[in-house]
């Protein structure tokens, strides 16, 4: 077997698997006579370990995604792969853009970690290709992203919170629970989480405003440029959407995608040419501040995981500014 992995420093969050692990997974999925000809680890992601696998008996490659060991996962990010699998039926409106799940194993009986095999989607990651197009065409990309997001947000669900659960009857309960989990994880890293505890208290005190959101909608969780593939074309054309493992039910304004679409006054505003106009009230703006506090808490965890100490420090300033605005 040709086997290539990404070399990372000792102690890195992402941990590669071995060639024998890949062979064991392939045989568990496709039968004991399966032969893996090559396994190449792919970069670009920051959470799961991802490999392009070629099997002797098939012409098309498949993709193997392996979750981090359970003991290395934050509580607020626990079992994201299981959440993604639970989300697949709900993501039917964009199924033509997503890889097919061929099989998944959450038993831990093969390599002691969750793993999933998916179909391979052709295309180039948008961060690598978008810049090669003329700047005046970039708005087409963000308009497509708005269409995709709108299709996902149109799906109504049974309760608030992660798609795989636990579910909550009210939106305020899901928001406060999420902020509490993030604060616990921050403290578990040895960092100060007093500001995030305060954010949770503010959200609880404003439960009435949060609960104006009465219908759970499907949120992508973290859809943005890094989760998309572009086709060979004269202008940007999205041909694939990947890694929607942070999906949850809630207020569309709480989605990471909405936050990023508003982050700069540039071509990304074309997103809203395709996304239905939403009422912008004082209550909406207050809720967006609460959602930003949640995003900042999650970013603090990710930056800590990546060793970005300056980014961690900057998150405290940003949280303080948003708390002051809320008050």
CB atoms within 10 A of CB 159: 18
| pTM exceeds 0.75, yes or no | yes
* pLDDT at residue 101, as a whole number: 97
How do residues 219-239 score in pLDDT, each as one tens digit? Answer: 999 999 999 999 999 999 999
Average pLDDT, the chain: 96
For residue 325, give both structure tokens: 């605005």
- pLDDT over threshold 90, residue 47: yes
Any idea which residue has 């579910």 for tokens?
Answer: 167
* pLDDT at residue 43, as a whole number: 86
C-beta separation of 76 from 45 below 8 A: no
Q: CATH for 124-326?
A: 3.90.1200.10
C-beta separation of 115 from 103 below 8 A: no
- pLDDT over threshold 90, residue 58: no
Phi, psi of 65 (to 5 degrees): -120, 130
Cα distance between residue 221 and residue 249, in whole Å? 9
DSSP 107: S
How do residues 266-291 score in pLDDT, each as one tens digit? Answer: 999 999 999 998 889 999 999 999 99
Give CATH superfamily name and number for 2-119. Phosphorylase Kinase; domain 1 (3.30.200.20)
* pLDDT at residue 278, as a whole number: 84
* pLDDT at residue 9, as a whole number: 86
Sketch the domain layout of the chain as residue ranges.
2-119, 124-326
Same fold, 2-119 and 124-326: no
* pLDDT at residue 297, as a whole number: 98
How do residues 80-132 score in pLDDT, each as one tens digit? Answer: 999 999 999 999 999 999 999 999 999 999 999 999 999 999 999 999 999 99
DSSP 194: H
- For the stretch 27-49, what's the b/e string if a residue is b when 16 or more beta carbons lie within 10 angstroms of its beta carbon? ebbbeeebebebbebeeeeebbb
* pLDDT at residue 322, as a whole number: 96
* pLDDT at residue 163, as a whole number: 98
How do residues 187-213 score in pLDDT, each as one tens digit? Answer: 999 999 999 999 999 999 999 999 999
């Amino acid at each position: 077997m040709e086997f290539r992995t990404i070399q990372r420093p000792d102690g890195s969050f992402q941990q590669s698997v071995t060639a024998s692990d890949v062979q064991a997974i392939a045989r568990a999925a496709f039968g004991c006579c399966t032969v893996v000809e090559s396994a190449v680890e792919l970069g670009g992601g920051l959470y799961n370990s991802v490999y392009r696998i070629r099997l002797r008996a098939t012409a098309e490659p498949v993709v193997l995604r392996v979750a981090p060991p359970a003991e290395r996962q934050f509580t607020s990010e626990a079992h994201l792969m299981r959440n993604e699998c639970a989300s697949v039926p709900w993501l039917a409106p964009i199924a033509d853009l997503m890889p097919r799940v061929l099989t998944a194993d959450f038993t831990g009986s093969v390599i002691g970690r969750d793993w999933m095999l998916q179909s391979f989607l052709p295309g180039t990651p948008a961060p690598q290709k978008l810049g090669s197009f003329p700047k005046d065409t970039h708005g087409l990309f963000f308009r497509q992203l708005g269409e995709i997001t709108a299709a996902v947000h149109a799906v109504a669900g049974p309760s608030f919170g992660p798609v795989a659960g636990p579910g909550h009857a009210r939106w305020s309960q899901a928001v406060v629970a999420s902020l509490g989990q993030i604060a616990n994880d921050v403290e578990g890293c040895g960092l100060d989480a007093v500001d995030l505890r305060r954010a949770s208290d503010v959200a609880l005190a404003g439960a009435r405003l949060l609960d104006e959101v009465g219908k759970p909608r499907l949120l992508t969780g973290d859809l943005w440029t890094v989760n998309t593939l572009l086709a060979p074309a004269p202008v940007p054309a999205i041909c694939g959407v990947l890694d929607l493992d942070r999906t949850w039910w809630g207020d569309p304004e709480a989605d990471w995608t909405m936050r990023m679409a508003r982050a700069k006054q540039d071509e990304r505003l074309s997103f809203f040419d395709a996304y239905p106009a939403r009422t912008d009230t004082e209550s909406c703006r207050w809720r967006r501040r609460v959602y930003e506090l949640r995003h900042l808490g999650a970013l603090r965890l990710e930056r800590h995981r990546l060793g970005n100490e300056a980014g961690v420090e900057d998150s405290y300033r940003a949280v303080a500014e948003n708390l002051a605005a809320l008050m």
